[in-house]
Each structure stands twice: as structure tokens, then as C-alpha cells.
């Protein structure tokens, strides 16, 4: 069996939750035709009908009810995982190493470094203030 496109699962679940292809399309911000095509492809891939379609009603089959219940859990897990990953990667960390001449470093760079530390407390700042020529690569200066 080929892997199922997860977007099709989301479209299918939205159709069930919304009660119609039209309302599902509105919620998803796509056309009704796209939603209908994707659900039809999902049914083809699974080799089973998921919906009973009439002119007035849309009802899930037994397989459709089962799949919908699982889709709800899967989609919730995906949302939670994305939120957790987003929380992990929001903090900037590391060490910023900067070199400058005496006058420029004292007057301009030092206040900037202080503001940087306030904004990114998990980051360290190492200032190399000197009028001497410094090996930027050897000293690993950013």
C-alpha cells in the first residue's frame, strides 16, 4: 500500500466535522472541488467508501466513522508536536564573539552588547576590544 497523503486525512476529517464539502472547503480555504477530489482519492487509495453522498445529506460509512475517529487523534498529535517543537526552537543560545577597536568598542559596541544580552539572556557575549590587529579566524570572532 502506498503512503497516504496526510492532507487528505485532514480534508476528510474536516468534511465530517463540517457536515458538508462546501463548509469544509470554506474552513480549509480551498475550493469545494479540491476537497471532493482529495476525499475521492483517499477512498480510492483505501479501496473503500468513506461517505454516503446524497443530494441532501452526507453520512460517514462505518469505515468513515472509524477513520474519522483516528484522524482526529492523529491531527491533534501533529498539532501538539508542532507546538512543542516551536517552543524548543524559540530561544536563541550560544556565544557571540565580537572584536572592535578601543574607541568604537567602548562607545558603540558595549551598549549594543548590553542590549543584546537583555534581549537574548541565553546568549553569551565576548567582546575583544583592542587597537591591535587580531586574528579573527584564529580567535573565532563572529
Mark whether 124 and 84 lie in a shared domain.
no
pLDDT digits (tens, 9 = 90+) for 50-86: 999 988 889 999 999 999 999 999 999 999 998 888 7
Tell me the residue range of the domain where 76 lies.
6-88
The Cα 95–Cα 117 span in angstroms is 10
Say which residue the cell 507546538 belongs to: 83
Contact (Cβ atoms closer than 8 angstroms) between residue 113 and residue 127:
yes
Mark whether 54 and 37 lie in a shared domain.
yes
Mark whether 98 and 31 lie in a shared domain.
no
pLDDT digits (tens, 9 = 90+) for 96-124: 888 888 887 778 888 888 888 888 888 88
Quote the number of domains for the chain: 2
Mark whether 113 and 64 lie in a shared domain.
no
Picking from 88, 113, 133, the residue at the C-terminal end of a domain is 88
Mark whether 12 and 65 lie in a shared domain.
yes
Residue 16 neighbours by CB under 8 Å, 6+ apart: 60, 64, 68
pTM > 0.85: no
What the block records as the C-alpha cell of 52 is: 454516503
Amino acid at each position: 500500500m502506498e503512503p497516504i497523503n496526510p492532507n487528505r486525512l485532514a480534508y476528510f476529517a474536516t468534511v465530517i466535522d463540517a457536515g458538508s464539502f462546501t463548509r469544509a472547503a470554506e474552513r480549509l480555504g480551498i475550493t469545494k472541488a479540491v476537497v471532493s477530489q482529495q476525499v475521492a482519492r483517499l477512498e480510492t487509495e483505501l479501496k473503500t467508501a468513506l461517505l454516503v453522498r446524497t443530494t441532501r445529506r452526507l453520512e460517514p460509512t462505518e469505515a468513515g466513522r472509524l477513520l474519522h475517529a483516528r484522524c482526529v487523534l492523529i491531527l491533534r498529535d501533529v498539532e501538539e508536536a508542532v507546538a512543542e517543537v516551536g517552543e524548543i526552537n524559540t530561544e536563541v543560545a550560544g556565544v557571540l564573539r565580537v572584536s572592535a577597536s578601543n574607541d568604537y568598542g567602548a562607545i558603540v559596541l558595549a551598549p549594543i552588547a548590553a542590549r543584546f544580552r537583555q534581549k537574548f539572556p541565553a546568549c553569551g557575549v565576548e567582546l575583544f576590544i583592542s587597537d591591535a590587529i587580531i586574528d579573527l579566524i584564529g580567535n573565532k570572532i563572529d
